[in-house]
Every structure is written in structure tokens, then in C-alpha cells.
Structure 1
């Protein structure tokens, strides 16, 4: 469990400053700036094609921006590789399930913890000494802190290919939590889920925030979920921030309403 440091409660843990990202003649991000405060849930919303996943890929290090920077814990990590950012505490899930389908639930989750292992290549290759001890300690920690927490003990030895979609998404969340993240980036965690699965996932996300003290960055199209659990909402459209604030402010922002529902709806909000 990662407690919230009260001394830094008012300082942004993650800052995105003027991110510019383009692919040929297409601008995916056009000067995106926002901050995610420590221990809060920040939602990134917007219509399809707004640049949300491109933003996540830039924050996590898969894309390099043409301009702008990403600050994490006061450090400029813009030029850091994806695995180095992961080792610092930036963990993420993906819009489409990205698990190793032939492996068991437990083995998939353990992969997330490998960023924290320090055995030398020789002992790791032959699986003896420090490598074996680290691996066993990681397994005990995952079983105690992650698998029990997400209520998936009954499936831990099953291959993920045979699981329902909702359980696969939960396993992906477990793999990210095994990294002991400081920032957990969730790309559409409830997409394709039924109501019961969505409610379960919402509960787990809130518990990660409240019990583990993890800062959550969330992309989601389920506006009910976003408005219910988010502390701060950032709205993108065509790669630009068109509004941000607490959920109540964003819900009544004419620019946001226009992007989702059209000009007529926006005029009604203003009136």
C-alpha cells in the first residue's frame, strides 16, 4: 500500500505542459496542458478521435512529442523511455486487452512486478539464489496484496484466454497494480462491460485511490462513471483542451456540450 504524503497533497504529481504531437499532416495533440494532483482521480474525456489515447501514449513514453514536456514528481521525464517511466511508478492498462492469453492469471500479473526485480542476468537465467528468492517474494506479495484485493483468487491458476472479458480487464488492472504504481493510467477500463462488471470496476478504482493512495488518470466514455468517481475532468476535442474542472463545472460547460451534443444543446446550456 502506498500512503499519500500529506506534505505534497497540494502539489501536482503529474504535469503535462503544452504537448504537441503530429503524424504527418495530422495533429493528434495541439498544446495540451493539465495537472493531476496526488491521490486524486483525473478523467480525460472527449469524442472519438479527440487525442485521448495519443495523450496516454505520450505520457507513458510510447510516443515522443514534437514540443512540450511531461513532469512526474517534479522531474522532466519527456525523454525517458517507457520502461524507465514504468520503473519510476507510471503504470497503465490499454484500451484493448493486452494480456498473454496462453499464460495463467498469476503469471500475467507477475510480469507487472518484474520492473521491481534486481537479480543479475546469470542468476535470473538459471533461476537460483537471489533470483529465486525475489520471484517467490514477488509471488507472495501479489497473492496477498493484489489478487485478494481484486477478488480473483479463484481464477489465479487459469489461463486468461478462457476468462470473460470483464475478468480479463480485472487481470490487466492487477498486472498494473503489481508494479506498485504512483500513477495508474486506465484506458477505457469499463468499455464493453455490463452494468455489474462496470460497478465492480468502479469500486476497485475507488479503492485503489482511497486505500492505496494511488493517483489515477482515467480515459472513459461512460459519463456516469466519470462524473461519479472523478475529482477533476479534462476534456479534449481535436487534440485541444476545451474545458477542465470538477465534474459539475465540466457538465455545464457550453464548449463541452457542443463537442458532444452539438450547437443547439450548447445554446440551451447558455440560456
Structure 2
């Protein structure tokens, strides 16, 4: 993959809610006698792109599920913006600005692109359940406001206006991945977790997605933590890289530092990648 941009730390361009820091502190995770994570610690700095890499089975998805709240850690803590969220429910983390995409596309089939994206923003609406069920005036106004925001800030941003009324079922894989990113952005994230955002994509789709991720960082000021196997993209767009192997952090640093780390070369990149 060709170089896309120099990953300098951006300044938020007037965004009301800039990115938050995300810290994983001595997190261990066990399933019975299996140690999925062993004292994992790293930080994703505000407004930067941090990549989490490692071989299959290294524990990357376990880290994401712990940060998201799907797995409670056996020990250790997770902090968002300096606040301990280790025991915070999943839905409350979304309200604090944590959004996520999934390795396997998790769109709602039978719904349009616009409907799928709007679902990401419904947690931002303040009308209660009764108002929503009866579609009160307040609920209608908030729904229209949400749609306007989604169309103006997300759909235009990701260049998917031409498909917004299509069912997600008929879209090619690359566009489905872009719609999933759009739904996460509709949540107004301050920290965005991207689980293999370019898996299964061809070169052109990968480069498009990489540019969108950079734009999210630079124009929205969002903190990005991504898991990805495409080393070309990781090294091109990341400010910081954390390497896992067998549930432990074996290296952490800039892309250049990680690329030349002996343990990383042995465990992941291959002996001829230095």
C-alpha cells in the first residue's frame, strides 16, 4: 500500500467534543484456565490513531471486548478520559462517547443505509420511550434533527449519498463496511474502536477507508483505536502501535520503532520485514 499521509498528531478543527484518552491498565482476562490477556497496559492518546496488532489468537478482540464492556476483566481497569469505566454498562459507554465497528459486519438487514446509520444516533435523543412510541411532536423534531445531522455530517462525509435509500442487503462488501463506519460516526464518538476496518477489501477500497479514517482523526478530532492485519495501512496511518502476542504486550511505539523490534519481527511481521 502506498503512503497516504504523514500521521502527525492533529489539532481538533473546532469540534465541540474532541477525542478522549483511552487507557487499559494491567488488564487480565481469564476464561476458566485459559489466560486470554495477561496484564495488558497501553494508552490511546486524544486525537491520535493507535493500532493494536498481533498474530491470530494474540488477544486483540479480547481487548476490544473488554474496552467495549462485553467482557468484564478478571483484574485491571479501563479508563476513558481519565474516568474508570471498568464496570460501566455497555450502553452507558456509548453515551460517554465510545463507539465501535465489528470485524464481521453487523448491519440490520432489510433496512436502508439511512435507517441503519440513524440507529447509531438514537442514543443521543432525549425523548423517552413513551414519546418515541407515540411519535410525539418532541420525538418527531428530534428524529428530523438526527436525520439532518446524519445526512449533513456523516453521509456527505463518507460520500455515500448516492446509496442512502438502498437496502444494505444489496450493497457490495466495501460499501457495507463504509455504512458500518457511518453508523458508528452517527453516535458522535470521542473514541472510535475499529475492528479490522479493511478486512476483505481490495486495494482501492482499502485506500479509500484509510483516507476516511485519517479524515475522522483530522477533521473530527476523534481518538481512534484500530485492530488490523493490513500492515501497510497500519504503518501508513498510525501514530502509535501496540503489539500483542499470546495475550501480552511485547512492543509499543511509533510505526518505525515497532517495525524494527526483534520480537515483533519474529512474532508477527516475519524475519524479512525489518
TM over 0.5: yes
Whole-angstrom distance in 1 between the partners of 2:142 and 2:244: 42
Task: Give 1:140's match in structure 2, choosing from 140, 148, 160.
Answer: 148
Whole-angstrom distance in 2 between the partners of 1:80 and 1:178: 21
Q: How many residue pairs are counted as aligned between the two chains?
A: 262
Q: Report if aligned partners of 1:36, 1:42 keep a CA contact under 8 Å in 2.
A: yes
State the match for 1:108 in structure 2: 116
Q: Report if aligned partners of 2:20, 2:222 keep a CA contact under 8 Å in 1.
A: no
- The answer on 1:78 being equivalent to 2:86 is yes
Specify which structure has the higher proportion of helix.
1
Q: Secondary structure at the match of 2:21?
A: strand
Alignment of 1:70-219 (within 5 A): 70-219=78-227
Task: Give 2:34's match in structure 1, choosing from 8, 19, 26.
Answer: 26
State the match for 1:62 in structure 2: 70
Q: Report if aligned partners of 2:22, 2:79 keep a CA contact under 8 Å in 1.
A: yes
Whole-angstrom distance in 1 between the partners of 2:155 and 2:14: 25
Whole-angstrom distance in 2 between the partners of 1:81 and 1:4: 31
Which deviates further from its counterpart, 37-46 or 115-124?
Answer: 115-124
How far did residue 261 of structure 1 move?
5.3
Q: Secondary structure at the match of 1:158?
A: coil
RMSD value, Cα: 1.9
Q: Report if aligned partners of 2:23, 2:44 keep a CA contact under 8 Å in 1.
A: yes
- The answer on 1:240 being equivalent to 2:248 is yes
State the match for 1:3 in structure 2: 12
Distance 1:229 1:261, change over 3 A: closer
Whole-angstrom distance in 2 between the partners of 1:32 and 1:216: 18
How far did residue 12 of structure 1 move?
7.1
Whole-angstrom distance in 2 between the partners of 1:96 and 1:154: 24
Deviations along 1:162-211, one digit per CA (max 9) or x if unpaired, are: 00000000000000000110001000000000011001000000000001
Runs of 4+, deviation exceeding 4 Å: none
Structure 1 regions of 5+ residues with no counterpart?
none
Which deviates further from its counterpart, 16-25 or 164-173?
Answer: 16-25
Q: Report if aligned partners of 1:12, 1:35 keep a CA contact under 8 Å in 2.
A: no
How far did residue 3 of structure 1 move?
3.5
Q: Report if aligned partners of 1:93, 1:172 keep a CA contact under 8 Å in 2.
A: yes
How far did residue 260 of structure 1 move?
1.8
Structure 2 regions of 5+ residues with no counterpart?
1-10
Deviations along 1:140-172, one digit per CA (max 9) or x if unpaired, are: 000000000000000000110100000000000
Task: Give 2:239's match in structure 1, choosing from 231, 235, 255.
Answer: 231
